[in-house]
Amino acid sequence: MNSDFSIAIDNQKIATITWNCEKKSMNVLSFEALETLEKLIDQVIEDENITACILTSGKKDFAAGMDLNVLAQLKQSAGENPAEGVFNGVMKMHSVLRKIELAGMDPKTKKGGKPVVSVLPGTALGIGLEIPLSTHRIFAANNSKAKIGLPEILVGLFPGAGGTTRLVRKLGAMAASTYLLEGKTVAPNKAQAAGIIDQVDEDPMKAAREWVLNATEGDLVKPWDQKGYKIPGGTPYTPNGFMTFVGASAMINGKTQGAFPAAKALLSAVYEGALVPFDLALKVEARWFTNVIMNPSSSAMIRSLFINKSALEKGAVRPKDIDDQSVKKLGVLGAGMMGAGIALVSAQAGIEVVLIDQTQEAADKGKNFAEKHLDKGIKLGKTSQEQKESVLSNILPTSDLQLLSKVDLIVEAVFEDPKIKAEITQKVEGIIPKNCIFASNTSTLPITDLAKASSQPNQFIGIHFFSPVEKMRLVEIIRGKETNNTAVAKALDFVRQIRKTPIVVNDARFFYANRCIIPYINEGIRMVAEGIPPAMINNAAQMLGFPVGPIQLVDETSIDLGAKIARATKAAMGKDYPDDTVDEVIFWMEENGRLGRKSKAGFFDYDDKGKRTGYWQGLKDKYPYSKKQPSLQDVQHRLMFVQVLEAVRALEEGVLMDIREGDVGAILGWGFAPWSGGPLSWLDILGTAYAAERCKELSSDYGTRFEPPALLLEMSKTGEEFYTRFGHS
Amino acid sequence: MKDVYIYDSIRTPRGKGRKDGALHEVSALSLSITAIDAIADRNGLEGHAVEDVIWGNVTQVGEQGACLARTAVLASQLDESIPGLSINRFCASGLESVNLAANQIGGGSGDSYIAGGVESMSRTPMMSDGGAVGVDPSFTFDNYFVPQGIGADIIATEYGFNRDSVDEYAVESQKRAKLAWDENYFSNSIVPVRDINGLLILDKDEYMRPATDMQTLGALKPAFKEQGELMPGFDKVAIMKYPHLEKINHVHHAGNSSGIVDGSAAILLGNKEFGEKWGLKARARIKGTAKIGTDPTIMLTGPINATEKVLTDTKLDIKDIDLFEVNEAFASVALLFLQAFDVDSAKVNPNGGAIAMGHPLGATGTMILGTLLDELERTDKELGLATLCVASGMGAATVIERV
């Protein structure tokens, strides 16, 4: 028998079932443990020496959720028919939780049950909340760090162990939607206020004991098991409920742009479940949950956003045999937007930061940014005054380079000009310790070239942050030709300290992220030149799940920056340069002073506050809409493949060393269609054979940039998958 | 197919579909009986005179539920051997009832039918019959469900009808309806609604606002802007179906959309033998009927496709048609028809339409076909076409020819 759950009975005949997974810092539910739990619940119900039961955790938190490997096991459990395996497995979960909920009651009269309550010492997420939701009352410790919620939607699932059905019946469809659809997690006091849990107490065990000893039969019967129960807010075909459900469909469809199958399945489970009795609603929930699990998108999302993301965060690609390289004192060169952001997140991680700029005033401005950010956190109740003071005390703004004499990592974030970068590199190298690692936060300049300015190019590395630093979760680490393993380990340990997700790539033009993003923007602009309405281009991208379409993105990043990169790229590539059509548009925009949001004029018009008011009409005059418009699928495939093929080429050329990084980096770095699991996962979903064929079509219709790379061609012959060939088990 | 003729056509006046509307006190059953008895009386029908009564009715719940057609037949003077069939093709129900009846007769199933419809929108509100169409995610997501008003605004956006052009159309509809009433163009068809004692309740369309001008309409706020742009945000869904659109231009409001009203109408159809048997003179021949499904998101473009289909089937050209009735569900629907077929606007809805007089959902199709017939007779023209847009993306059309 699995030992994750154990039982103890005290002299008041109260049984305490304690969840405590061995060798794990957090409880996660396995299928074997579920069977143990069921046996213990059977014992509670049958043993006359037990009158009540408290379910709690032996750890500081209750549970983090399901062991996601269970889903793979379930798929395999029914042989030829994986859907049946998943469905049966989920129904098994329902039956155990329903057993807890009914706790030995007479099925008709609902009399005679024993109180079963849960006590949450800390965080309770996913199944870690779904199990408590099946108990008769949820007590939680007054632990402001604890997170309570059902975040399944964030990895492409939805709560499938009754969480959806129970929360809707508890709160009503409208109130439950924040937690189910957005995966919002909250501290215990907020969860209590929302009605998700019942009681927050300094001593929840004591409160729970008191409650079970005094509970009456009626206290145990869930509202939905009582006669005359109605879902708060109404079912779909009541006057109130009708408007709620009409609105929910439209709102979720519009918000997810149809790109997230789990959101739609969740809503179906809610809608269909609301029309039938509770037990049938659980069955309907199981059918939709199975449907989501069987959708290749959900496995791809789980793989990238859960399994591989956490593997990368735990050092999956860190060079072995290098001691801990945690940063103690960091030097940040340049206190502009990027430098200030890097200083902030580092100081928040408890790292001492020397923030350098040319003048004291400029350096102070960088620290001021951190202060403002922390003040915002205080306003939102996310940051305390003490936290603010401690973070700010970690940042020393100065123009005095001598103060860098004891730092162990430098992140240079000065102007994107090789000359300026070379100068500061040499200046600083005269001051910093010999073993200090020097990193550049360049987004486009080759690291190997920048390293030439260094006397120790083996200690020179790229650490590319995304803007805004405090929000973006990805950091791209670039290994120059001579960069050594210690430098890579240093960068990875630093990223771990600041709790972001790293990828490590080899040095090449635009590294990995910008290598894909730039063609995405360019393809959008190319379509403008072809006379495709910019609305079509942006909307097509948003319907793929991109947070912003290429036309909006170029307005955000600014058109003169695009023009500058284009000129530099053209100078470097010479006659092979493929993007003259694109340049024609952006150079013309630049000449007309339409530089994007910063100039309040770009592909969009803006009001005084910089808010978009609509597409600029002048663009249509210059590039009138063509009579023959492409299909939505053509537009979407162009936008997808132009990035995806770059990812394949990056893999082919050894810039990407690990496909997990290619997929995780794309989703976290620039919001690449999250439902796909990333560019390489998407090719697997499409099938490499189809993908190669489709690229050939696009190549003949729209240009040779879509010609399938040799690697894809080769794989397409046998339909080989990227995750079969390059995956990690 | 045998030739099928229209022998007679009547309608009630339309009452405002509100609690203070003249027909709010009149049940849908009573409205139905008024129309059925009137057409039976006028034509001296007795016994098993017709094969069936096909009755269009959209919101089939409450007093309009449980096959109102059968209830109405039994409560009317018709013989109990005549069964009664309620049908629902949303806004075209009243035309579909005629088309179904015509095609039954043409196919040899019965010599004659009463076809028509009823809707008491004041007593049984629109959409009170629920329906998966706007609610069930298994439908709404993949089919990009938006309400009709948003569909009408998509038409305006996609085909370039700005606020002025839809308002101008509405003003013209009011003018035409006023003239038609002033000149008694509808008098042959109107059957006043009376109470159980024979006292008059309503004898004229009550909804009209003949004083409407551009200024009064200009003051009205777009009706679908908020639900489109804010809560719950239908525009985003609409744009997923029409991604080349930057935004939806919300131009429709109560003044340029069809009015919510109560009313009922009936048409008597039969073959040649029926006319001979009862000594009735045919007024027109049904030349062709059509129904079709179209994109459900823009929803209301069906009249174009249905018209094309019926013209193809009848081997007619748009230029052959003398007069048109295009249901004015929304101004943009009629404007799209004018744009698509490039027909003289004087030929389309010459006596105004639902914007001025109202759109009693289940009855409207029958009403506009009757209006078309009256006007063909008055102006001594030959061929007329009636068509309606239909919710969920459908269209229906009928071509009639005077005999």
Q: Are residues A156 and A267 in the same domain?
A: yes
Query: Of A485, A507, A529, which residue constitutes the final position of a domain?
Result: A507
Strand locations in A426-482, DSSP E? Answer: 437-440, 460-465, 474-479
Query: Does the annotation mark B252 as catalytic?
Result: no
| C-beta neighbour count of A381 within 10 angstroms | 10
Q: Which of B136, B158, B247 best probes binding to A when mutated, by most A CB atoms within 10 angstroms?
A: B136
Choose, from B91, B250, B252, B253, the residue flagged as catalytic: B91
From chain A, pick out residues whose CB is under 8 angstroms from the CB of B231. 247, 251
Q: What is the CATH number of the domain that holds A27?
A: 3.90.226.10
Percentage of chain A exceeding pLDDT 90: 94
Chain A residue nearest residue B128, CA to CA: A239
Asked if A624 has any chain B CB less than 8 Å from its own CB, the reply is no
Q: Are residues A406 and A518 in the same domain?
A: no
Cβ contact, residue pair B231, A248, below 8 Å: no
Contact (CB, 8 A) for A154 and A123 = no
Q: What is the CATH number of the domain that holds A591?
A: 1.10.1040.50
Q: Are residues A151 and A290 in the same domain?
A: yes
Segments in chain A below pLDDT 50: none
Cβ contact, residue pair B243, A632, below 8 Å: yes
Q: Which of A257, A268, A534 shows the shortest C-beta gap to B137?
A: A268
Q: Which of A168, A235, A246 best probes binding to B when mutated, by most B CB atoms within 10 angstroms?
A: A246
Q: Are residues A501 and A515 in the same domain?
A: no
Q: How many domains does chain A have?
A: 3
The tokens of A410 are what?
């430098």
Residue A708 domain-assigned? yes
Q: Are residues A279 and A389 in the same domain?
A: no
Distance CA A366, CA A360 (A): 10
Distance CA A659, CA A680 (A): 7
Percentage of chain A exceeding pLDDT 70: 100
Question: By residue range, what is the domain housing residue A718?
Answer: 509-596+626-729
Cβ contact, residue pair A250, B130, below 8 Å: no
From chain B, pick out residues whose CB is under 8 angstroms from the CB of A543. 240, 243
| Minimum distance, in Å, between the CA of residue A674 and any CA atom of chain B | 18
The sign of the dihedral angle between the CA atoms of B312, B316, B319, B323 is negative
Distance CA A662, CA A667 (A): 9
Asked if A550 has any chain B CB less than 8 Å from its own CB, the reply is no
Mean pLDDT of chain B: 98
Strand, coil or helix: what is B289?
Answer: strand
Query: Does the annotation mark B389 as catalytic?
Result: yes
Distance CA A513, CA A426 (A): 28
Distance CA A203, CA A205 (A): 6
Q: Which of A253, A255, A272 shows the shortest C-beta gap to B140?
A: A253
Q: Are residues A156 and A18 in the same domain?
A: yes
Q: Which of A245, A271, A543 shows the shortest C-beta gap to B243?
A: A543
Query: Of A487, A507, A527, which residue constitutes the final position of a domain?
Result: A507
Cβ contact, residue pair A250, B232, below 8 Å: yes
Q: What is the CATH number of the domain that holds A351?
A: 3.40.50.720
Chain B residue nearest residue A542, CA to CA: B240
Strands A409-412 and A437-440: parallel
pLDDT exceeds 90 at position B49: yes
| Minimum distance, in Å, between the CA of residue A629 and any CA atom of chain B | 9
Closest-CA residue to B61 (of B136, B14, B152, B123): B123
Asked if A536 has any chain B CB less than 8 Å from its own CB, the reply is yes
Residue A154 domain-assigned? yes
From chain B, pick out residues whose CB is under 8 angstroms from the CB of A250. 140, 145-146, 232-234, 236-237
Q: Please report which helix (H) or strand (E) contains residue B177, including its range.
A: helix B163-182
Q: Which residue has the higher pLDDT, B312 or A2?
A: B312
Chain A residue nearest residue B239, CA to CA: A539
Asked if A271 has any chain B CB less than 8 Å from its own CB, the reply is yes
10 Å CB burial of residue B380 (0-12, 13-18, 19+) is exposed
Asked if A350 has any chain B CB less than 8 Å from its own CB, the reply is no
Residue A711 domain-assigned? yes
Q: Please report which helix (H) or strand (E) contains residue B119, including its range.
A: strand B112-120
Query: Does the annotation mark B244 as catalytic?
Result: no
Q: Which of A174, A180, A249, A271 best probes binding to B when mutated, by most B CB atoms within 10 angstroms?
A: A249
Q: Which residues of B touch A (CB under 8 A)?
A: 127, 130, 134-138, 140-142, 144-146, 231-237, 239-240, 243-247
Distance CA A440, CA A429 (A): 13
Query: Of A507, A541, A561, which residue constitutes the final position of a domain?
Result: A507
**Phi, psi at residue B257, to the nearest 5°?**
-120, 165
Q: Are residues A725 and A700 in the same domain?
A: yes
Position of tokens 């990035």? A643
Q: Are residues A494 and A516 in the same domain?
A: no
Q: Which of B130, B135, B236 shows the shortest C-beta gap to A254?
A: B236
Chain B residue nearest residue A274, CA to CA: B136
Contact (CB, 8 A) for A520 and A638 = no
Position of tokens 């390489």? A680
Cβ contact, residue pair B236, A245, below 8 Å: no
Burial A444-472 (b: 16+ CB within 10 A, else e): bbbbbebbebbebbbbbbbbbbbeebbeb
Q: Are residues A444 and A526 in the same domain?
A: no
Q: Which of A250, A536, A615 shows the shortest C-beta gap to B233?
A: A250
Identify whether A679 is preceded by a cis peptide bond (ω within 30 of 0).
Answer: no
| Minimum distance, in Å, between the CA of residue B17 and any CA atom of chain A | 19
Residue A99 domain-assigned? yes
- For residue range B327-362, what is the model confidence (pLDDT) as tens digits? 999 999 999 999 999 999 999 999 999 999 999 999
Residue A316 domain-assigned? no
Residue A103 domain-assigned? yes
Cβ contact, residue pair B240, A253, below 8 Å: yes
Q: Which of A236, A253, A635 shows the shortest C-beta gap to B135?
A: A236
Q: Are residues A267 and A136 in the same domain?
A: yes
Chain B residue nearest residue A540, CA to CA: B243
**Phi, psi at residue A510, to the nearest 5°?**
65, 10
Cβ contact, residue pair A264, B145, below 8 Å: no
Q: Are residues A500 and A516 in the same domain?
A: no
CA B82 to chain centre: 25
Residue A613 domain-assigned? no
From chain A, pick out residues whose CB is under 8 angstroms from the CB of B140. 249-250, 253
Asked if A543 has any chain B CB less than 8 Å from its own CB, the reply is yes
Distance CA B133, CA B121 (A): 20
Choose, from B250, B252, B253, B359, the residue flagged as catalytic: B359
| Minimum distance, in Å, between the CA of residue B120 and any CA atom of chain A | 19
Closest-CA residue to A334 (of A312, A362, A361, A311): A362
Asked if A238 has any chain B CB less than 8 Å from its own CB, the reply is no
Asked if A510 has any chain B CB less than 8 Å from its own CB, the reply is no
**Chain A, chain B: beta-carbon pairs less than 8 Å apart:** 88
Q: Are residues A442 and A535 in the same domain?
A: no
From chain A, pick out residues whose CB is under 8 angstroms from the CB of B237. 250, 253-254
| Minimum distance, in Å, between the CA of residue A250 and any CA atom of chain B | 6
